[in-house]
Amino acid sequence: MDWADNEEQAAFRAEVHSFIADRLPQFYRDRITARRPRGLEDDWQGDIAVGTPEAQAAASEWADALSTKGWVAPHWPTEYGGGGMTPMEQFIYNQEMAEAEAPLVGGSGVSLLGSTLLVHGNEEQKQKFLPPTLRGEYRWAQGFSEPGAGSDLASLQTRATRDGDEYIINGQKLWTSAAHKSNWLFGMFRTNPDAPKHRGISFLVMDITSPGISVRPIITMGWEHGTNETFYENVHVPADQLVGEENRGWYVGVTLLDFERSNIAGAIQIRKSIDRLIENVRTPEGQRMVEAGGLQRQRAAVAEHYVESEVMFNYSFRIISMQARGIIPNYEASTSKMFASELVLRVSRTGIKVYGLYSNVWDPDSEHAPQNSVFTQSNVHAVIGTIGGGSSEIQRNIIATRGLGLPRG
């Protein structure tokens, strides 16, 4: 199959490429050149909310630059401040951003919530939440998982009780990523405890600074603060912040998760990791380090990962070609999410095997750290990708039932 750009697509690709080359702040260029491990805070939302003054200035500058083109939210309609891009234009845009390692702007507010509001929100909600999200004034966290409801998310128990023109929230959420650097939260809450578990759930948005909401940090492997527990004690949320119908929030949330699983930049990021590994082991310093890991034993694994990354890249094209024809990826998105997240983990583990004992060096500034300990740290962080947004086990169930038509049980 021919995936080459046509004339119009090639012109748009050149426009995006030139824009990034001209407007990406020096702060981000320096971060890319340093090739240091990317921590859980090293994204645009972390920079704008809790970064150094230099990081905050760069994040603001980059957001302003993208806003001039409507590229903060390239997939949103132009009437809501987006780029109005076709699916293939979005693919090209994301591909060029990933190749340049330029940060996407807006966090989950743009990529997840905004997309969901465009489908399920009313006009008042769109006007209230979309513009400040584009401007970076509203920074969003996702409140889904609970202590007893992770992969089986529909078992969530945090209550939202209707009281006149508001809801009263009580309960606890777990793995609330970005809550410490957000000022708004979207999530699913139990509004009818007597209904079947997939019904009786409602989708609400709320000010995370509301009285009764408390955020407790969770420090993950690598001593990083990327996620949190959130507690809700008699939190008052206006009823007009219900998205979609009451007790039908599961279907709103599933729409959001489908957006999250359609990550077409993943193949490029994986290929970059493999290319850097290959590039490094060709150098004298890299060859010295791999003596401890036994390069001959790992050569086949590196080659296999390269082939797998090509599979992932072509699968990304398959998904975007479906969207270009108006077909919503269903089990295909689950296949992409599962394959990409598990491939990142396999590549990371191969990387630490290649470098042997040197992979025990965590400090990226150590002279003994291969590639600034990139693979050492990604081996820790990559596990999260196989769980968040729906675990690999859940993705396999979706593929089996929706894709292959196999019975449940």
State the catalytic residues. Answer: 260
Element (H, E) at 102: none
> What distances in angstroms separate CA 382 from CA 204, 221, 348, 385, one per listed residue?
30, 11, 8, 5
Angle at 65 between CA 62 and CA 67, to 5 degrees: 110
Side chain identity at residue 189, one-letter code = F
> Cβ(186)–Cβ(113) under 8 Å?
yes
Q: Are 378 and 344 in contact (CB under 8 A)?
A: yes
Token pair of 325 as six digits: 């024809």
Query: In this structure, are residues 189 and 204 in contact, taking their beta carbons and an 8 Å threshold?
Result: yes
| Whole-angstrom distance, CA of residue 300 vs CA of residue 265 | 25
User: How many residues are given for the chain?
Assistant: 409
Where would I find the H helices in 68-108? Answer: 87-100, 107-108
Phi, psi of 230 (to 5 degrees): -125, 140
